[in-house]
Structure 1
Amino acid sequence: MTVVNLNKARKAKVKADEKAQADANAAKFGRTKAQKDLDRAQAEKAARDLDGNKR
């Protein structure tokens, strides 16, 4: 028979639940840095092209 510290078990369960939620959010909303950089670069190019056409 092993002795289980209920406080540590409770904290471990909470930590595991939070990790699972974080993984789910990363899969749902997460994008890689490369994807973010590409979107930023495309937006900057579009803004430059628009400014260039105004003149």
Structure 2
Amino acid sequence: MGEVINLNRVRKDRAKAEARSTAKANRAAHGRTRAERTKAETERERAARLLDGSKLED
């Protein structure tokens, strides 16, 4: 016979794991200083300009 499991415990553990992963993503997205956000935005814009400048016109 199989192992007996508590379905309520499994459901709660799954919810806690999902909450932890959401919290980790939020910390990564919102836990940065203004300088870090500005630097990332500047790098993104620079990469976009470089890409647009490298396009060949037909």
Give 2:24's aligned residue. Answer: 23
Name whichever structure is richer in helix by fraction.
1
Structure 2: stretches of 5+ with no match in the other structure: 35-58
Partner AA of 1:23 in structure 2: K
Structure 1: stretches of 5+ with no match in the other structure: 37-55
- 1:9 deviation in Å? 0.2
Once superposed, what is the RMSD of the aligned Cα atoms?
1.6
Query: TM-score under structure 1 normalisation?
Result: 0.54
- 1:4 deviation in Å? 0.7
Q: Distance in 2 between matches of 1:17 and 1:8?
A: 14
> How many residues in Structure 1 have an aligned counterpart in Structure 2?
33
Give 1:45's aligned residue. Answer: none
Give 1:12's aligned residue. Answer: 13
Partner of 1:25, secondary structure, is helix
- 1:18 deviation in Å? 0.3
Partner of 2:9, secondary structure, is helix
